Amino acid sequence: MFFCTIKRCEKKIKAMFHQLLLFYLIIPIFWYDGPIMRDTIKKHSDFAMDDTDQLARSAGFLIRARPTIFPNDARYGLIVTKRTFRHAVDRNRAKRLLRAWLHHCERALDPAKDYVFIARPTILTWTRNDGIGAMKKALRYLQKTDVKH
């Protein structure tokens, strides 16, 4: 038979809790060294297009940029429609590709702008390097046109 006093059980539980806390909260902070991703746009009204939005076109996606509502907390949004991609697998893959390219080009994004990325069907045929190059080119175009206005 296994008998455990209440104090001994409390000590074991506290020790296990501290180990889990250390593993899940403290250690991952030291492992991650990349840029922190932005928040996402969630409200439908924030996705609505405006005449003042900047627009950059690519064969695989469109990028719309506008000044952010929240200073120092710019956001991004992804639009991958069912009309463009009939199968959920294709929609999910397009979103994954856009997020990966966005994560790679995070430093090129202006912190004072919200960005909306709209996927096109040809995005599924692109390689990683093609997508990253196209996204960098489109973001540079947005920076150039912002200087003109």
Residue-level pLDDT at 66: 87
Q: Which fold has domain 39-148?
A: Ribosomal Protein S5; domain 2 (3.30.230)
CA distance 61 to 119: 4
pLDDT in tens, 105-127: 888 888 888 889 999 999 999 99
pLDDT in tens, 78-109: 999 999 999 999 999 999 999 999 989 888 88
Mean of pLDDT over the chain: 79
Sheet containing 75-79: give its strands across: 39-40, 75-79, 113-119, 61-67, 54-57
Residue-level pLDDT at 47: 73
Per-residue confidence at 143, pLDDT binned at 50, 70, 90? confident
DSSP state of 105: T
- Choose among 40, 44, 102, 96: nearest CA to 68: 40
What are the residue ranges spanned by the domains of the chain? 1-33, 39-148
pLDDT in tens, 43-87: 767 777 777 888 999 999 999 988 888 777 778 889 999 999 999
Contact of 75 with 136, CB cutoff 8 Å: no
